[in-house]
């Protein structure tokens, strides 16, 4: 089964599956060149109107160009995603964890920031078809990477400043501001 859910980003739509898409991690493909080791993403980029692909545990978020309406392309995308998932082919060629060992994990402030992101923010963002990952913390500034439907979303600035920055500055006094990279 595959159904769609809207996201806050009108250019992105979440295709939710009853099958696991990517166990234990997320993967962001902002362009066709980034999808070299991801057969499902490569297949979706064959459609000229697909501008970005994001994999979550049980969903695929597709970002489209403005020249096509969702009504025109949902059936084709659903068929492509469902067919691929039912084929049994891996969505990525290298399913091993490629997460880098993050520097600064022993810093208690960074640990607290990451804990808040993982426990409070990322699950909510995943429900909207995206992800936010920690990049760095330096001199009071937290830098985060927005992925999937969050990347380019009209409401992402408000979410970042009013939601995430508000939470982090309240809960971690060392945090003064949050920026997207």
Q: Where are the domains of the chain?
A: 2-87, 108-180
Rounded to whole angstroms, what are the CA distances from 159 to 33, 124, 156?
Answer: 29, 11, 5
Considering the segment(s) 2-87 as one domain, its CATH architecture is 2-Layer Sandwich (3.30)
DSSP classification of residue 8: S
Q: Residues 19-52: pLDDT tens digits?
A: 899 887 889 999 999 999 999 999 999 999 999 9
Question: Which phi-psi region, left, alpha or beta, contains residue 129 (left: φ > 0; alpha: ψ -120 to 50)?
Answer: left
CATH of domain 108-180: 3.30.300.130
Contact 147, 59 (CB under 8 A): no
pTM, two decimals, is 0.76
Q: Do the two domains 2-87 and 108-180 of this chain adopt the same fold?
A: no
For residue 178, is pLDDT > 90? Answer: yes
Residue 131: phi and psi, rounded to 5, are -155, 155
Alpha-carbon distance of 143 to 1, in angstroms, equals 37
Q: Residues 112-167: pLDDT tens digits?
A: 999 989 888 888 888 888 888 899 999 999 999 888 887 877 777 777 888 889 88
Confidence class for position 105, pLDDT limits 50, 70, 90: low
């Amino acid at each position: 089964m595959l159904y769609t859910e809207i996201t806050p980003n009108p250019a992105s739509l979440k295709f939710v599956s009853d099958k696991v898409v990517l166990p234990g991690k997320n993967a962001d493909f902002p362009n066709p060149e980034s999808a070299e080791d991801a057969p499902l993403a490569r297949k979706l980029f064959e459609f000229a109107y697909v501008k970005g692909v994001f994999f979550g545990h049980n969903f695929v978020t597709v970002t489209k160009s403005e020249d096509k309406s969702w009504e025109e392309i949902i059936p084709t995308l659903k068929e492509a995603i469902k067919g691929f998932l039912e084929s049994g082919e891996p969505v990525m060629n290298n399913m091993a964890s490629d997460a880098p060992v993050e520097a600064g994990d022993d810093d208690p402030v960074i640990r607290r920031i990451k804990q808040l992101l993982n426990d409070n923010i990322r699950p909510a963002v995943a429900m909207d078809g995206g992800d936010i990952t920690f990049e760095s913390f330096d001199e009071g500034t937290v830098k985060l990477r927005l992925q999937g439907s969050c990347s380019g979303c009209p409401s992402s600035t408000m979410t970042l400043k009013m939601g995430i920055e508000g939470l982090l500055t309240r809960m971690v006094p060392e945090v003064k501001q949050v920026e997207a990279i």
